[in-house]
Structure 1
Amino acid sequence: MITSLITGGAGFIGSHVAKHCISLGHRVVVLDDLSGGFIDHVPTDAIFINGSISDEVLLKELFEKYNFDYVYHLAAYAAEGLSHFIRKFNYNNNLIGSVNLINLSVLYEVKCFVFTSSIAVYGAGQVPMSEEMIPQPEDPYGIAKYAVELDLKAARHLFGLNYIIFRPHNVYGENQNIGDKYRNVIGIFMNQIMQNKPLTIFGDGEQTRAFSYIDDIAPIIAHSVNFPKAYNEIFNIGADKPYTINELVDVIAAEFGITPKVIHLPARKEVVHAHSDHSKARKIFGTNIHVPLDEGIHKMATWARKVGARQSQKFNNLEIEKNLPEGWSN
């Protein structure tokens, strides 16, 4: 039987990837410290281990016990904007933790290491973003992701470790942590609406993103190990059509049947326009079907109404508070 380790499998994208891997017949081991995920997101057929990718002793025990065929690495603290203010935490979790997994994957001869990176590696002024572009990340989160990509290439060159790198973007859907005030704008808006709060927008709301529904992402990641031509390649995956944040507000407000009250906060230092070219992924994986934004918002909103509003979590280990965006201060 194929055995796969899925880090971050109690989180948003990871829990969906775990579900799809199980449907492929994999024995799935989920490793998650529940810092951003929830135990009820873990598929019932998965083996759940409560632990961190920073725990080298635990990781070695797991690799020794389960002899993984594949590693799907989705554990990360994925907050681009906040990463400026938690630099050490960001690199310890998103870079050093990843290297722990890469080392063990080499030592235990994992067949393929599937890594979820981010379009944050591209930086600004490169739209549509394509895999041939030279990354120029502008925040510590993107820097860490790009460093892991480079480390995987080095491990492939010297040790023969196969990898597949995905750069998804602005993913939303069921199981998203809507209580996190630092990331995932769709979840933030839905949570604010369900608490009868105004919607907060940084800047004028004309920044653009291509919002990607989870079912456009997770199946491709899970199935990728069965595509030999995908090995040792990088792929953008996600939706093609960009929307402004103001347009997003209109779609979500229509779903909830409200006239939204919007508060504009000072603009953050962030990439203004970000969307990707996905022709490479379509060529390899043969997918060209994406859930439209209004349909995906409806599906997520139906789920969000069931779970209800959640209290915004505070990050209590800020390393720098200088220039912290309004609304993020503890």
Structure 2
Amino acid sequence: MTKVLVTGGAGFIGSHVSEELIARGYDVIVLDDLSGGFEDNIVKGAGFIHGSITDQQLIHHIFQEEKFDYVFHLAAYAAEGLSHFIKHFNYTNNLLGSINLINASINHEVKCFVFTSSIAVYGASPKLPMSEEDTPHPEDPYGISKLAVEQELRVSHDMFGLNYIIFRPHNVYGEKQNIGDRYRNVVGIFMNQILQDKPMTIFGDGTQTRAFSYIKDVAPLIAESVQIPDAYNQVFNIGADQPYSVNELALSVAKAMGVSPQILHLPPRNEVKDAYSSHEKIQRVFGKRPVTSLEDGLNAMAAWVKQFGSRQSQKFKHIEIRKNLPAVWLE
């Protein structure tokens, strides 16, 4: 049986990708330190190793013992805005941890390394929608770390023959998302605030635009990618096409949750105003697939959230820079 490693498999996207891989007959091993995920997210039938990608010795041991055919690397701390204030933590987890996996994949002759990057690599693109042909210009440490891993995979392929597939997802939401994380995943934050009878908080005037991507439109493509030869050594945007303002999103989330919208605007933070991408390339290589509407996706997530309940948001304990930190993150 083909054996695969899924890092971050107790997290949101990783758990869905693991489920898709098991459905396709793979032997799945999940590696997760449970810093952002939950053990009950781990898919039935998957093996589980509790540990961090930053642990070099552990990574070496796992690869030596398990003999993986493929690696699906989804472990990350994906908080773009917060990454300015946690630079060491960001680069240790999102860059150096990835390097440990790349080194091990080369040394143990992994057939393909699948990496979830982010459209954060584009920064404030002068052209919308963002295309894989655009020159990346990330504006936050999170995007910088993702772009560095992309470049490392390219040179590792050139030097050592390590095949890779890079996906740049954006604003993914859906069931199993950690709605208690106060720093990332705006849909989850809104739903958690509603469950706690709090207003939905929006940085700035809410006119910033994003395309919000339903998880079940994203995870199957990532899982099946290693069986598509034309996907090898390529970069793909993946997610929804239709952009919405954050104000529009808030109204849609309130409707899905069955409440009247209550919105509190906070001082603006440093973020890209408009970010959404083209998916012509992935449609060309993978074929066109049905896309879940924002309304249907939010309704599905809302049903899960109501059953699951609210989560208490925890403060991030590793703030390294407090200058210009949004006041709401200090509360």
User: Shorter-chain TM-score category?
Assistant: over 0.9
CA distance in 2, matches of 1:18, 1:271: 31
Cα distance in structure 2, aligned partners of 1:23 and 1:258 = 36
Aligned to 1:238: 239
Matches within 5 A, 1:205-216: 205-216=206-217
Q: Determine if the alignment matches structure 1 residue 87 to structure 2 residue 87.
A: yes
Cross-structure match for 2:202? 201
Q: Deviations over 1:194-231 (max 9, x none)?
A: 00001100000000000000011000000000000000
Number of residues paired by the alignment? 330
Q: Is residue 171 of structure 2 the alignment partner of residue 170 of structure 1?
A: yes
1:265 and 2:244 matched: no
Which secondary structure does the structure 2 equivalent of 1:6 belong to?
strand
Displacement of 1:303: 0.5
8 Å CA contact 1:265, 1:326 repeated in 2: no
Q: Offset at 1:257?
A: 2.0
Counterpart residue number, 2:17: 17
- The aligned counterpart of 1:250 is 251
Structure-2 residue corresponding to 1:5: 5
Shift of residue 252 of structure 1? 1.1
AA paired with 1:225?
V
Could you tell me which runs of 5 or more consecutive residues in structure 1 were left unpaired when the two chains were aligned.
Answer: none
Separation in 1, partners of 2:131, 2:273: 17
Equivalents in 2 of 1:286, 1:326: separation in Å?
Answer: 45
* Distance in 1 of aligned mates of 2:256 and 2:118: 28
Amino acid at match of 1:72: F
Query: What's 1:49 paired with?
Result: 49
Distance in 2, matches of 1:184 and 1:255, equals: 17
Task: Find the residue that maps to 1:5 and give its secondary structure.
Answer: strand
> Distance in 2 between the 1:128 and 1:6 partners?
30
The aligned runs of 1:275-290 (5 Å cut-off) are 275-290=276-291
Shift, 1:289, TM fit: 1.4
For 1:5 and 1:64, the matched residues in 2 are separated by 12
Indicate the RMSD between aligned Cα atoms, in angstroms: 0.7
When the two structures are superposed, what TM-score results if normalisation uses the length of structure 1?
A: 0.99
CA drift of 1:111 comes to: 0.2
Question: What is the match of residue 313 of structure 2?
Answer: 312
- The residue correspondences of 1:107-256 to structure 2 (distance < 5 A) are 107-125=107-125, 126-256=127-257
> Residue deviations 1:32-60, cap 9 Å, x none?
00000000000010000000001111111
Contact 1:8 1:73 in 2 (8 A): yes
User: What is the letter of the counterpart of residue 91 of structure 1?
Assistant: Y
Q: Please give the secondary structure, in 2, of the residue aligned with 1:267.
A: coil
Residue aligning to 2:26? 26
Aligned to 2:77: 77
CA distance in 1, matches of 2:259, 2:155: 52
Counterpart of 1:327 in 2: which secondary structure? helix
- Distance in structure 1 (CA, Å) of the matches to 2:4 and 2:46: 10
Percentage identity across aligned positions?
Answer: 62
Tell me how far 1:288 sits from its aligned partner.
Answer: 3.1
Work out the CA distance in 2 between the residues paired with 1:258 and 1:306. Answer: 16
Q: Which amino acid is the alignment partner of residue 175 of structure 1?
A: K
